[in-house]
């Protein structure tokens, strides 16, 4: 029987309480689908930072490298200045573990409230592949003549062909395996590049050339489309059904995935994976730590459960992953119908219990 070594970082605020539910479902899936999980918890987060001044130390990165996967709750603490924990923990893990893909499904589950008029689960069913270790996030920069009227701040977006190619390769492969045709939901598997070739004529020129070269040579079966990022936002609202798989750079990906999240029912549902296809990946609900709700049992654990579901698929436990998704869809469609912020009708742990029970059945 396979045993997966999973690092769990519950993190701050409501992170721990949603992580407990995701772990509950993970254990239920392991029992049902005959694999084992060996869990190790790490206390990286705001409290540890306040006590020790440490975010994610280098020794922590080395520890994390030994695991098959990482499950993260949430990072962010009201007493810690913005940027310290994000850069020191989340971004450090992404960069050091070379998690160069941020995979963000934008799927509206049945029964979930959607802010888009007349759109349902068949319309909002796509995935964003965001480049996760380059662009403005890791470009060089600095400030000179600080606090003078002549102050200059520079933060450059940098992409190498290598970074672009490996991200595109992942996106094309993903479109081939999980695109709408592959899932029996459409006539073609389509990959759309989201860029800004009309203004960022260096960066997105590189992306666009690499996209068409790779597509023509290695993925002629996949339809290629291009959208500027501003137009992408418009169509994500007006015609989300046009999209299948979208690939984009780090900064644009950060922005469009929050837009996508709100169209799929918001932060209680949206999950993401920081993926190193040849290494250790990390999965997280994208909702944040919501400190003022800590301990109240009102936060929807579905996002954390969906993050865990993505982890199962990435580990190769496809059957278990499919089962968890099926159960989540059943629960949103039948038990939590019409839920919106604060309207779940069940507590955080009741939702976790309900899902684990159905997964184990």
271 forms bridges with which residues in the sheet?
285
Question: Number of residues in contact with ligand IPM, rule: CB under 6 A?
Answer: 5
Nearest to 14 by CA among 265, 284, 272, 301: 301
Distance CA 122, CA 119 (A): 8
Neighbouring residues of 110: CB distance < 8 A, sequence distance ≥ 6: 121, 329, 332, 333
**Side-chain-side CA neighbours of residue 281 (13 Å):** 24
CB neighbours of 163 closer than 8 A, spacing ≥ 6?
Answer: 100, 131, 133, 134
Q: Note whether 96 binds ligand IPM by CB under 6 A.
A: no
* Smallest separation, CB 228 to Mn ion (Å): 20
With CB under 6 A as the contact rule, the residue among 6, 29, 30, 91 that binds ligand IPM is 91
86 is a contact residue toward Mn ion (CB under 5 A)? no
Question: Nearest distance from residue 250's CB to ligand IPM, in Å?
Answer: 7
CA gyration radius for the chain? Answer: 20
Contacted by 86, from Mn ion, ligand IPM, none: CB < 5 to 8 Å by type? ligand IPM
Q: Does 241 bind ligand IPM (CB under 6 A)?
A: no
Bridge-based pairing of strands 125-131 and 245-248 is: parallel
The rounded distance, in Å, linking the Cα atoms of 123 and 225 is 18
- State yes or no: residue 101 binds ligand IPM (CB under 6 A): no
Minimum gap (Å) between residue 47 Cβ and ligand IPM? 18
Q: Which is nearer to Mn ion, 7 or 256 (CB)?
A: 256
- Interacting span for ligand IPM (CB under 6 A) from 10-18, 83-91, 105-113, 235-243: 83-91
Part of the chain binding Mn ion (CB under 5 A), chosen from 38-46, 174-182, 233-241, 253-261 = 253-261
Angle made by CA atoms 325, 331, 332, in degrees to the nearest 5: 90
Stretch that binds ligand IPM, among 42-50, 84-92, 139-147, 226-234 (CB under 6 A): 84-92
What residues numbered 260-299 form the site for ligand IPM, per CB under 6 A?
A: 286
Distances (CA, A) of 165 to 55, 199, 209: 31, 21, 10
Cβ–Cβ under 8 Å, residues 246 and 232: yes
Query: For tokens 């933060």, what's the residue?
Result: 155
Stretch that binds ligand IPM, among 86-94, 114-122, 225-233, 241-249 (CB under 6 A): 86-94
Q: Which of 63, 254, 350, 353 is the binder for Mn ion (CB under 5 A)? A: 254
128 binds ligand IPM (CB under 6 A): no
Q: Work out what residue 90 binds among Mn ion, ligand IPM, none; the CB cut-off runs from 5 to 8 Å by kind.
A: ligand IPM
d(CA 148, CA 243): 47
Distance between CA atoms of residues 20 and 40, nearest Å: 13
The DSSP symbol for 345 reads S
* Interatomic CA distance for residues 70 and 66, integer angstroms: 10
Cβ-proximal residue to ligand IPM, closest one:
86
- Token representation of residue 237: 């609202």
**According to CB under 6 A, which one of 68, 86, 96, 173 is a site residue for ligand IPM?**
86
Residue 91 contact among Mn ion, ligand IPM, none, beta carbon within 5 to 8 Å by kind? ligand IPM
Applying CB under 6 A, which of residues 241, 254, 350, 353 lies at the interface with ligand IPM?
254
| Closer by beta carbon to ligand IPM, 136 or else 237 | 136
Q: Which residues bind ligand IPM (CB under 6 A)?
A: 86, 90-91, 254, 286
Residues engaged in binding Mn ion (CB under 5 A): 254
């Amino acid at each position: 029987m396979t045993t997966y070594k999973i690092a769990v970082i519950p993190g701050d605020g409501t992170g721990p309480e949603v992580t407990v539910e995701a772990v509950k479902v993970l254990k239920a899936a392991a029992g049902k689908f005959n694999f084992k999980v060996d869990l190790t918890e790490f206390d990286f987060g705001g409290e540890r930072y306040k006590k020790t001044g440490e975010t994610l130390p280098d020794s922590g990165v080395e520890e994390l490298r030994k695991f098959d996967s990482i499950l993260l709750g949430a990072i962010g603490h009201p007493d810690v200045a913005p940027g310290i924990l994000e850069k020191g923990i989340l971004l450090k893990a992404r960069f050091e573990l070379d998690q160069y893909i941020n995979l963000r499904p934008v799927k509206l589950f049945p029964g979930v409230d959607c802010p888009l008029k007349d759109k349902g689960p068949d319309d909002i069913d796509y995935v964003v592949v965001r480049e996760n270790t380059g662009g403005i996030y890791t470009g060089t920069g600095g400030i000179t003549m600080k606090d003078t009227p002549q102050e200059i701040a520079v933060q450059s977006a940098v992409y190498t062909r290598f970074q672009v190619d490996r991200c595109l390769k992942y996106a094309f492969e993903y479109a081939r395996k999980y695109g709408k045709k592959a899932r029996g939901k459409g006539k073609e598997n389509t990959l759309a590049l989201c860029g800004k070739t009309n203004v960022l004529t260096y960066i997105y020129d590189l992306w666009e050339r690499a996209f068409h070269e790779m597509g023509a040579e290695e993925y002629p079966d996949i339809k290629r489309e291009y959208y500027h990022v501003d137009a992408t936002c418009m169509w994500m609202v007006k015609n989300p059904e046009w999209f299948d798989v979208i690939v984009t750079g780090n900064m644009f990906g950060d922005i469009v995935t929050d837009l996508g999240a709100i169209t799929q029912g918001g932060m209680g549902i949206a999950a993401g994976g920081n993926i190193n296809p040849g290494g250790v990946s990390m999965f997280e609900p994208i909702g944040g730590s919501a400190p003022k709700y800590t301990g109240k049992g009102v936060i929807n654990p579905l996002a954390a459960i969906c993050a865990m579901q993505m982890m199962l698929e990435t580990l190769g436990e496809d059957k278990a992953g499919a089962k968890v998704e099926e159960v989540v869809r059943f629960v949103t469609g039948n038990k939590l119908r019409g839920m919106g912020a604060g309207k779940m009708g069940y507590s955080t742990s009741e939702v976790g219990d309900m899902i684990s029970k159905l997964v184990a059945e």
